[in-house]
Amino acid sequence: MQFGSVPTVAVDTLSSGDFLLDVREDDEWAAGHAEGALHIPMSEFVARYGELTEAAPEGGKVYVLCRVGGRSAQVAQYLLQQGVDAVNVAGGMQAWEAAGRPVSDGKGGSGTVV
């Protein structure tokens, strides 16, 4: 599936070992996120790009999430231009939550997607 020219996958194709990048803003992340995801808000992404290159698996895919898929598609496009194997996650965290995937508040509790 494509979102414009960006490769896109559905939440149900992701496995527990996949590298997730959440580009939502701090308040969205604090309310609820996928456990183990790397959080770099889209608004800070270019300045913090080095954090991704340090954390991402060498030669592996980066699955980019936002709330519904628009911001993550933009970040995935940018990453593809940088030579990173990036994939947009269709439906973002709303689809993640709807699929019954766990949402964490980062404090050991259950989070919510805002």
Q: Which residues form the catalytic set?
A: 66
β-pair partners for 88: 8, 64
Cα dihedral sign for 63, 65, 70, 71?
negative
